[in-house]
Structure 1
Amino acid sequence: MPSLSFTDRLSRTGELYLLAKSPDERRSGIYLATMPKSRGADGPATGSSSGDAPDGQVEVIVKFTTKYNADAHRVLADAGLAPALHACIPVCGRLHMVVMERVHGEMAWDVQQRGELLPYTVYKDVKAAIDLLHQHNFVFGDLRTPNIMCAPGASSSGSDGGSHAMLIDFDWVGTHGSARYPAILNDTLSVWAFGMQRRAMMYKEHDLAMLEKFRELCQAHTA
């Protein structure tokens, strides 16, 4: 019996449940769904398991967007620094459907809003993610706390500080020195690094400056 395509497997799961809360997220179209776990020819079922998903199913995040850097996402997913990327498929015109693993945790933004410092292990993971993207000549471009997910467990370096981090939004990622920031960037916000503005060229130095801003939100390193 021929194996089902990814879209066939996803379509058999039924409804998509709106996960987005903020107006910005709703414009992006972010949903929660389940799909059957994939199964290799000679191995067990693969995919992230979840206590909230039925047996034989896996929870996934489904996002619709006009621009997405799947290559950069896969680079970090392979290193455990982003959720697994199941698919990035053109569906209509410039619109793409992105399907990724659901990671249970909280955004760094939520921790920031409570006035708490993030664990140093989170900073280490974010720095490792940016370093790895830069090795592949990518600029992340939007290193704000809503795009950083904190999940329980050991960090990518192997240290168990109670929380590790993943980057979760690859809409803006582009090639150093040739890609440009989107026209929707609100360059009136003070959060951006110097030189970051709508339609400006993207440089690795912007990521590094944003990383320093993020470090200030994390606990100091202790030997």
Structure 2
Amino acid sequence: MKEKHQLHLDGRLIAESDGAVWVPLADPTQYAIALHYEKKVPLLEGDIQSALTFRKHVAHTPQLSGAAFATCLPCIHVTIAGSYIRFSASMLGEELFVHHYTDYLSLAGPGDLQYIRRRVDHISKHFDVVREALQSLRQYYKGVQPRSRDTKDPARLRPNPTLRPTSTRSSHTRLEGLVFEDRMSFGDMQYNPALWRARYRGRPALVKFTERYSVRTHQLLAGCSPPKAPELYFAEKIVGGIWMIVMKRLKETNAENTFLDQALPSSVVNDVKAALDVLHKGGLVFGDLRRSNIMVQLENDVYRAKLIDFDNSGREVASDDPAAAEYEAGGPWYDPFLNPWPGLPQEIQPSKPMRAAHDLAMLELISPSDRLGLNEQGQVFWSK
């Protein structure tokens, strides 16, 4: 542990850590910071200071450059404010990402002996986890070969998903065939941080990370003949509680760009209607029907369509009462902050359940070119 580690640039003090654990790489002249520590009196100030100080050390310390070009610099952050402590972790990608694993935990305070013992037991478990994590980081960095700007490893900035401890052996086997390539971009549009190009067992794949996903809906449409959704290679929940969806990467383009200021061809409308019919007969709703979620491809001079983006899909809820319908276990609901744009069907309202009728109403809304519609950002536009 280096206490009060100072960083100078051109003779000026630009950063000072209250404490840091430096660990050597495979080349003992190069290091990484495995744990960074800040102690501040005001709550939250230590969180900000720890991240900024860590970034400055990485940017201006030559002994840390080898790890920065070889890894995403995983680091544990411990911040103390008075009698409170918080544990976090960071990784360096396009920017420094910090995740707080705990809130501020009280190390002191009134209470009887039994309460104090429970609190001590609770806090000690967190310290035990941090100790094991620090040991793992020491071993990890010990095997890292430092790199330079000319030999940097681009894979360090790509996802490295970890399956949950409850995942099956077959899940781990499927994950072995996944190789990330780069972020998914759409022409001149900025890339989407949740979408990645990849190869899955040699086949072009698209990987999506999302907090919610209806695997059942996707599988149902992908299993149709002809398929009404991209082939789903596999879907798994990973550490952090989010879904990782791996599907076939389509060559098709979305209907938003293909038919800008035009009506959707009858073949596309019919394909979408057929897909919705399959879902509705199964008691499911799509929930987010927009032109950007319809992929189209020209086949024998006829446009065919598939649906994508099943984040809002699921079982149709019978009740309008979220509590009665068991919100979490039930079907999809509209966002409580949904802005009902002009032209949107009146029955589509914040905190209300999604209905099969809403899917059909949205299809009527986005199909023609001479009515009010919505662009990909949900803004109102008039097609010409």
- TM-score, L = length of structure 1: 0.74
Distance 2:213 2:265 in 1: 29
Give the Cα separation in 1 of the matches to 2:349 and 2:192.
23
Asked if the contact 1:103–1:151 (Cα under 8 Å) also holds between the matched residues in 2, the reply is no
For 1:174, which of 314, 322, 325 is the aligned residue?
314
Match of 2:208 among 63, 80, 98: 63
Q: 1:165, 1:184 → 2: CA distance? A: 31
Contact 2:280 2:356 in 1 (8 A): yes
C-alpha deviation, 1:192, in angstroms: 3.4
Q: Quote the offset at 1:108 in angstroms.
A: 0.6
**Alignment check: 8 A CA contact 1:83 1:103 kept:** yes
Quote how far apart the aligned CAs of 1:161 are. 4.8
* Unaligned residue ranges in structure 2 (runs of 5+): 1-169, 318-329, 371-384
Task: Tell me what 2:276 maps to.
Answer: 130
Aligned residues: 185
Distance 1:78 1:131 in 2: 14
Q: Distance in 2 between matches of 1:5 and 1:184?
A: 39
Code of the residue aligned with 1:33 in structure 2: it is A
**Given the superposition, is the C-alpha separation of residues 85 and 192 from structure 1 closer, same or farther in structure 2, using an over 3 Å criterion?**
farther
How far apart are the structure 2 equivalents of 1:145 and 1:185?
22
The residue aligned with 2:256 is 109
Would the aligned equivalents of 2:287 and 2:332 in 1 still touch at CA under 8 Å? no
Q: What secondary structure sits across from 1:5 in the alignment?
A: helix
Once the two structures are superposed, residues 83-140 of structure 1 have per-residue CA deviations (whole angstroms, 9 ceiling, x without a partner) of 0001110112321100111111110110243x23332111110000000000111111
Correspondence 1:83 to 2:230: yes
CA distance in 2 between partners of 1:196 and 1:84 (Å): 30
Question: Corresponding residue for 2:303?
Answer: 163
* Partner residue, 2:197: 32
Aligned-residue Cα RMSD (Å) equals 2.5
Please show how residues 173-192 of structure 1 align to structure 2 within 5 Å. 173-177=313-317, 178-183=330-335, 186-190=338-342, 192=344
**2:197–2:206 Cα contact (<8 Å) kept:** yes
Task: Decide which structure has the larger Cα Rg and report it.
Answer: 2
State how far apart, in whole Å, the 1-side matches of 2:343 and 2:366 are: 10
Question: Residues 61, 129 of structure 1: CA spacing in aligned structure 2 closer, same or farther, 3 A cutoff?
Answer: same
Of the three residues 286, 297, 300, the one matched with 1:140 is 286
Tell me the TM-score normalized by structure 2: 0.45
Larger strand proportion of the pair: 2
Contact 1:150 1:165 (C-alpha < 8 Å) held by counterparts: yes
Instruction: Indicate if the aligned counterparts of 2:340 and 2:348 stay in contact, CA closer than 8 A.
Output: no
Higher RCO (CA < 8 A, seq sep 6+): 1
Contact 1:194 1:206 in 2 (8 A): no
Tell me if 1:215 matches 2:380.
Answer: no
Give, as a single letter, the amino acid of the residue that structure 1 aligns with 2:200. M
